[in-house]
Structure 1
Amino acid sequence: MEVNRFYTNHVMMVEPTKFFFNTETACDNEFMHNVEEDNEAIANKAIQEHRDLRAKIEEAGITVTKYEQMADDLPDSLFPNNWFSTHKYPGNIDNRLVCVYPMKAPTRQREVNPKIIEDFTEPESHTIDLTGFCEKGQVLEGTGALIFDPVNLKVYANISQRCEKDVLDHFLEQFNSKCQEPFRSVVFSSCTSSGTPIYHTNVMFSVLSEHIVVCLESIPDEEERKKVVEEITSSELNKYPKKLLEISLEEVNNMCGNIICVLNKDQEPCVIMATTAYNGFKPENLEELKAHYKIIHSDVSTIEKIGGGSARC
């Protein structure tokens, strides 16, 4: 099977204009750290890091569509994947599917940008809008919470304060109504090295074209851990079983799970990551990735420290 056709050569980025520590989201994101530094200085560093990353992505032959933060009081706007995703999988979802998700923090709920939705909606597109769950206090934070394996028709999800199982079930019901072949969920719970629940699945789990990167060490329940391994590796449960690339909790702390696979103009698979991750991977894991993908990395350390998210976000 030609798996590359399930991956995109086009990414969307929202440039931060006023980036600062968001106290609303810090309560359950252990990766965020407040620093004693002027907000303007922090914002300027974040803008430069964002621009440098975008330049490297474009230099690698990947199309980037850029937007800007809608309002000064929306510091997490540079993480649009949490409220918005699009899906178009040849032979399964032939017309683009646009999904809009319910966010936990009020500041993040206000990030929903009608212009982005309009620009990515095609004439035959379908839209799934889950923002009504915000009124009920229910949450499902996009591809921060949900890791799609479109080849094997699965959605991996770490249940947390940012990913509620009943909202996930509702989402999958709507999502599958637009698919020729339905997806199913694989759910589990994971924790950081301090024992705190991991807020987003995408800091410890990533689906690449040939590999699934996962921190099994972060899944405390043995049965759940075994189930995740089986779901990744079993030839009976996958059309195209992928190689499991296991990372440690230390690598998770270095944002090694927060990576994404895209295609360049030559349809070659590339993995975008932060320099923190590039330097944080165990040598054997980095060599495995280099053997199968072109690596694009850039320093986003200010964004990581203040915002708690990395290149995948």
Structure 2
Amino acid sequence: MSKFERIAPAFAGERQTCASVLMVEPTRFGFNSETAATNRFSSASAAGADTAARARREFHGLAECLERAGVAVHLLPDPAACPSPDAVFPNNWVSFHSDGMLVTYPMAAPNRRTERRLDALDAMLVDRGFEMSHHVDLTAHEGEGRFLEGTGSLVLDRPRRRAYACLSQRTDLSVIARFDALTGYSTLTFAATGADGFPLYHTNVMMSLGARFAVVCVESIAPHQRRLLLDDLEAGGRVVIEITRGQMMSFAGNILELEDQHGRPLVAMSLGALASLRPDQRRALETLSGELVASPIPTIEAVGGGGVRCMLAELHLPRS
């Protein structure tokens, strides 16, 4: 358990992007049968004997790509004892905030709960000069069968203290209310589905927010809720870039704006996501943000059902 106290934070403002990320190196990556029922992006047929080795190569390729672009990558090893095949997706269990707040989240799959290694995380971050002052721990909701899977479930507008969430079995309305009460956020919820009409398991597969843009799969949103969401995004000063459901399935919504060590913005995404974008969409992202930094992660996407954004937990913590 974490040594941090469970207290409500005092908010002093936060930027949308940061230049440091946490990544968890996969050792047991593979198809997760415990999450497959709700994740229509993952496929058992894409797995093979060399799946874990391919995933490790893709992981390190992404980490190196980000570092070349000027992003500081902090690696947390995944111990062989951890039974989760999805440990490469740390954003589902933890988020970090510029006021020193750390939030841990309730996850639906029992085998994923072993990913929360707070002692190891604390030791690594303190050693790297990060400061953590308070802990909002939502994990007790797992005992009630209610879940909220981090910045998979929640897409954060950090400066406005606003969040967006499409409801699903992994994104519970009552836990969102608790998150809002403890963090000072206000969350706009809506319904979103794939082409088969099944609820999207995470919000971050259909939406990404940068400082100046919002990539959104509008056609996945319930028709009567689209205008409300778009108006709210535009009220935050963002230009909406629409993607199709087909592009969403290529993880074009699962992207993340970061910045390099000089404060210049960039957008991290997979090579598959980049290839799915039209030229006008690429130009819009480059104009509203900066360089599009892409790395191939086909195994992680096809078997794990998550993309580049899922692999990155932004380190918005203050430094000593």
Q: Which runs of 5+ in 2 are unaligned?
A: 1-12, 311-320
Of 195, 198, 215 in structure 1, the residue corresponding to residue 197 of structure 2 is 195
Identity %: 33
By how many angstroms is 1:155 displaced?
Answer: 0.5
SS at match of 1:6: coil
In structure 1, distance between residues paired with 2:266 and 2:35: 30
The aligned residue for residue 266 of structure 2 is 270
In structure 2, distance between residues paired with 1:170 and 1:103: 15
In structure 1, distance between residues paired with 2:179 and 2:46: 40
By how many angstroms is 1:282 displaced?
Answer: 2.0
Alignment of 1:131 onto 2:139: yes
By how many angstroms is 1:151 displaced?
Answer: 2.2
Kindly provide the CA deviation profile for residues 92-116 of structure 1, in whole angstroms up to 9, marking residues without a partner as x.
xxx3100000000001111101211
In 1, are the aligned partners of 2:46 and 2:303 still within 8 Å (CA)? no
Matches within 5 A, 1:181-192: 183-192=185-194
Matches within 5 A, 1:1-313: 5-35=15-45, 37-39=47-49, 41-70=50-79, 71-88=81-98, 95-114=99-118, 115-120=120-125, 125-176=133-184, 183-220=185-222, 222-234=223-235, 238=236, 241-291=237-287, 292-313=289-310
In structure 2, distance between residues paired with 1:127 and 1:35: 39
In 2, are the aligned partners of 1:69 and 1:77 still within 8 Å (CA)? yes
- Give the counterpart letter for 1:15 in structure 2: E
How many residue pairs get matched?
Answer: 292
Cα pair distance change 1:11/1:189, threshold 3 Å:
same
In 2, are the aligned partners of 1:82 and 1:103 still within 8 Å (CA)? yes
SS at match of 2:100: strand
SS at match of 1:230: helix
By how many angstroms is 1:223 displaced?
Answer: 2.4
SS at match of 1:266: coil
By how many angstroms is 1:4 displaced?
Answer: 9.4
Which consecutive segments of 4 or more residues in structure 1 shift more than 6 A? Answer: none
In structure 2, distance between residues paired with 1:210 and 1:141: 25
**RMSD between aligned alpha carbons?**
1.7
Q: Which runs of 5+ in 1 are unaligned?
A: 89-94, 177-182
Kindly provide the CA deviation profile for residues 168-201 of structure 1, in whole angstroms up to 9, marking residues without a partner as x.
001110112xxxxxx3111101001121110000
Superposition TM-score, scaled by structure 2 size: 0.88
Cα pair distance change 1:4/1:266, threshold 3 Å:
farther
By how many angstroms is 1:67 displaced?
Answer: 1.3
Superposition TM-score, scaled by structure 1 size: 0.89
SS at match of 1:305: helix
Larger relative contact order (CA 8 Å, sep ≥ 6) = 2
